[in-house]
Amino acid sequence: MSPRRDDVIVIGAGLSGLMAARELEAAGRSVRVLEARDRVGGRTWTRSLRGHPIDLGGQWVGPTQDRVLALARELGIETYEQFDRGRKVMELGGQRSTYRGLLPWVGLGGLAELGLRVGQLELMARRIPLRAPAERADASALDGQTVRAWLDRRVRNPKARAVLRIATEMVFAGEPEDLSLLFFLFYMHSGGGFVRLTSIRGGAQAQRLKGGAQGLSRRMAEALATPVEHGQAVHAVLQEPEGVVVHAGNRSLRARHAIVAVPPALAAEIDLGPARSERRRRAEQGMPMGSVVKCIVVYPRPFWREAGLSGESISDGEPIRATFDGCSPDLSFCALVAFVIGGSAGGFGARPSEERRALVVEHLVRLFGAEAAEPVAYEDQDWSQEAWSRGCYVGLMRPGVLAEVGNVLREPAGRVRFAGTETAARWCGYFDGALRAGERAAQEVLEAMRAEVPGDV
Ligand SMILES: Cc1cc2nc3c(=O)[nH]c(=O)nc-3n(C[C@H](O)[C@H](O)[C@H](O)COP(=O)(O)OP(=O)(O)OC[C@H]3O[C@@H](n4cnc5c(N)ncnc54)[C@H](O)[C@@H]3O)c2cc1C
């Protein structure tokens, strides 16, 4: 047992854990951050490709994400606009077309239905109370059905249904048949609605961070008084009358409180002893991670822009579900960013690298033309292969879980508090939610510490 006893041990050095640590240090508390990986940032990961930063994990920020925008400003990380000028490409049932605006052209009847159903989803989402989604009178009825069941029942036009299916897959990195409708509506509301979540301009994909998104975590970690300890996979957090004992490998570390800032599917494997309630267990087990392989395909020129295309596409073909322009602002780096999502990601990720590259390039040729056949570099990242993420972007609630477990994921378990983007009420699933959750967990610990020692500030 280490003789040092900190005020708080934070488990996980993603955005959420680092924000919690920063808040606690700012309040004068001693903090130790334990991280399983050899790097900080978790689901953000910026690597270098041909001398340019590429984000293999999360990359966008947008309006109303006040916490992350303020943090970026404070840390001196600039943002730049995601390129979105020109026509978008859609491939549906093997047919390619181009369009402008938010909704693709799916025939007059299809477009009318698409508009109607998007409006209906917006309204349904807005009625979900963010702080207590399970408290709606019809929570169980909404939670008892999948998004797929709702789409099949409500959306008659097959093309409109296909587009809504692609949008769901892209926002969640999961399949509509696996998602609870109540969770889907909560998540939509949490991020400001369907249109905001699926848009570039004015939406969740509006801006990118100069130098890459992992910079946020790197800079927060650098500013901590005590360096993050890497290679520290925590497997138990057990409680004593006056504190916690955190077990990582063969180390046992003491603190007054702990904050677990890892995704619920990974938190499930940390032994909390009797402090883990049955509701918590059910929530963690009912929220497996989504599946995504993110692919960066580099070209000598932005040939799609030259052809009047924005680089955005959606497709119900294989393997790519959507693409975006991934060029640097000065065009010294030109790339398309492609997402392989949900059910497609598993088989795709299991193939050898050369095959994955060939499949992606073949699909890009269908979407953007023959010039897509000659990339100069390719890199991809299968998040399901990452032991300390087990998939991405987020944990996705299966039907029948949320109405039963309510807010248990953000409820304390004795001296253990929980952060992580999945516990956020606003911008759940995003950087911004991760930061908000970190702040909340830190505040909870500070309040508990003040209550323990009256007069302690
Ligand atoms: C491909 C992709 C695209 C995305 N796009 C966007 C986007 O554009 N915009 C956006 O806002 N969000 C996006 N996201 C989601 C975003 O990255 C996450 O919401 C956010 O980074 C989560 O932060 P976190 O701190 O909650 O969790 P994490 O980043 O998962 O941090 C948890 C940390 O805990 C560590 N850990 C896990 N288990 C243990 C253990 N037992 N012991 C010690 N350490 C442990 C992990 O290694 C990790 O570092 C995307 C994610 C992916 C993967």
* pLDDT in the model for residue 382: 98
Q: Buried b vs exposed e over 328-342: b needs ≥16 C-beta within 10 Å?
A: eeeeebbbbbbbbbb
pLDDT band at 138 (very low <50, low <70, confident <90, very high): very high
Q: What is the mean pLDDT of the chain?
A: 97
Look up residue 168 and give its amino acid.
T
DSSP state of 332: S
CA distances from 271 to 30, 198, 416 (A): 24, 38, 12
Mean pLDDT over 273-281 rounds to 97
Predicted confidence (pLDDT) per residue in 117-128, tens digit:
999 999 999 999
Least-confidence region, from 101-105, 322-326, 351-355, 386-390? 101-105
Nearest CA to ligand 1 atom 29: 42
Please choose, from the candidates 297, 305, 311, 303, the residue with its C-alpha nearest in 3D space to the C-alpha of residue 370: 303
Cα separation, 60 vs 206, in Å, equals 7
Nearest CA to ligand 1 atom 19: 430
**From the CA of 42, how far away is ligand 1's center (Å)?**
4
- In percent, the amount of the chain with pLDDT more than 90 equals 97
* pLDDT in the model for residue 156: 97
**From the CA of 389, how far away is ligand 1's center (Å)?**
7
**5-42+214-276+413-452 classified as CATH 3.40.50.720:** no
Predicted confidence (pLDDT) per residue in 391-432, tens digit:
999 999 999 999 999 999 999 999 999 999 999 999 999 999
Predicted confidence (pLDDT) per residue in 214-258, tens digit:
999 999 999 999 999 999 999 999 999 999 999 999 999 999 999
428 lines ligand 1 (CB under 6 A): no
392 lines ligand 1 (CB under 6 A): yes
pTM for this one?
Answer: 0.98
**From the CA of 423, how far away is ligand 1's center (Å)?**
12
Strand partners, 246: 237, 253
Determine the topology of domain 46-63+204-210+290-385 in CATH.
Polyamine Oxidase; Chain A, domain 2 (3.90.660)
Q: Give the right CATH number for 113-198 from 2.60.40.1120, 3.40.50.1980, 1.10.405.10, 3.30.70.260.
A: 1.10.405.10
Say yes or no to pLDDT of 29 above 70. Answer: yes
pLDDT band at 4 (very low <50, low <70, confident <90, very high): confident
Query: Do 46-63+204-210+290-385 and 113-198 have matching folds?
Result: no
CA distances from 378 to 230, 298, 330, 356, 368 (A): 29, 6, 20, 10, 17
* pLDDT in the model for residue 362: 98
Question: Which among 23, 253, 393, 427 is the best mutation to test ligand 1's pocket, defined by most ligand atoms within 8 Å of the CB?
Answer: 393
Say yes or no to pLDDT of 1 above 70. Answer: no
Say yes or no to pLDDT of 456 above 80. Answer: no
Would you say 14 and 42 are in contact if contact means Cβ atoms under 8 Å apart?
Answer: yes
pLDDT band at 300 (very low <50, low <70, confident <90, very high): very high
Predicted confidence (pLDDT) per residue in 155-214, tens digit:
999 999 999 999 999 999 999 999 999 999 999 999 999 999 999 999 999 999 999 999
* pLDDT in the model for residue 457: 52
246 lines ligand 1 (CB under 6 A): no
**From the CA of 264, how far away is ligand 1's center (Å)?**
11
* pLDDT in the model for residue 453: 77
Q: Domain locations in the chain?
A: 5-42+214-276+413-452, 46-63+204-210+290-385, 113-198
**From the CA of 246, how far away is ligand 1's center (Å)?**
21
* pLDDT in the model for residue 312: 98
